[in-house]
A and B are shown apart, each in its own frame.
Chain A
């Protein structure tokens, strides 16, 4: 049945639909890494004004859930500084 339909309608409508779905996803994905990179840079700039840390001890993750998305920032701070920060808070 599907084959018959394909044959009758031609395959171009399928191509069109596949492209529309794919490109909608790719356009979103394309703009995302930039946003994350920018967030990362700005967050690090703010934190490094107050605490010294190694840039490669930083993890930033973005999870996209159905209703809520989360941005996870994990920064490893050397123990000496960590103690000071805990005291201050």
Chain B
């Protein structure tokens, strides 16, 4: 059975698109058929992060409007053939994103894929509520920082009220993905700890993605971090999170890039 996931956060810039690409590529490397959908109409970026920006011909709105058929709009990843992208439109006609249209597209995708991952835009407007509307489960991306945690709380409220599952009286599964985490800073009391965030948001943890230069490097070259450098600490954390999504029991650790004692002593600033 196909699983529909929404990657959401409320706040912008916390790593929704990065996480969508990284988890999508991680699930696809396991052999599952995956499609990632960009819901950020007018400000699409998933194509750029995945390195497919020059291959966009048709988009989600074109499919909803009947201008293109779904297979024409899907972009197959050049590195992973079972990873696909459905880009957002770059025009501003946000109203073209209709509830019925999105429902139809997701229903069709369900017949072809194991995972449908909806990359939500920031905010709590139409694009964000439509991205979560048909989800079976939500991944709430949160930075250990006050404004991000507050917005996540707001989004959790929306997930419990505005999704089809919630309206039917069913529970929408929620997973917290903490990104840009620095264990060192948290230990020194400079950053909210994982325990703090979990206690405040009371949502089960899907994974902890450590702060890392590799994330920017991956987006620079247009590759999900789980493909760009699969041995890096953020990639390993995303692989673990993907395994948990598949239902595997993986111990929760914060991967670190194996550094020597000298680096640990002198590289503290960066931790």
Show the binding face of A for B, using Cβ within 8 Å: 9-13, 15-16, 18-20, 22-23, 26-27, 30
Contacts and interface: CB of A to CB of B under 8 A. Distances in A.
Given A15-B146, A23-B153, A10 B200 contact: no
Nearest to A31: B157
The listed residue with most A CB atoms (<10 A of its CB), out of B157, B189, B192, is B189
B153 A20 contact: no
Overall SS of chain B's interface = helix
Given A12-B196, A16-B196, A23 B190 contact: no
Contacts of A20: 200
A81 B200 CA distance: 54
The secondary structure that dominates the A interface is: helix
Of the listed residues A13, A16, A22, A30, the one surrounded by the most CB atoms of chain B closer than 10 A to its CB is A16
A13 B157 CA distance: 25
Given A16-B196, A19-B200, A26 B190 contact: no
B175 interface: no
A23 B157 contact: no
B190 A11 contact: yes
Interface of B: 145-146, 149-150, 153-154, 157, 186, 188-193, 196, 200
Q: Which 9 A-B pairs have the closest CB atoms?
A: A10-B189, A16-B196, A10-B190, A12-B189, A15-B146, A23-B153, A12-B192, A19-B200, A9-B189
A18 B146 contact: yes
Nearest to B196: A16
Given A16-B196, A16-B200, A30-B157, A22 B189 contact: no
Residue from A12, A26, A27 with most neighbouring chain B CB atoms (10 Å): A12
19 contacts: A10-B189, A11-B189, A12-B186, A12-B192, A12-B196, A13-B189, A15-B192, A16-B192, A16-B196, A16-B200, A18-B146, A19-B149, A19-B150, A19-B192, A19-B200, A22-B150, A23-B153, A23-B200, A26-B154
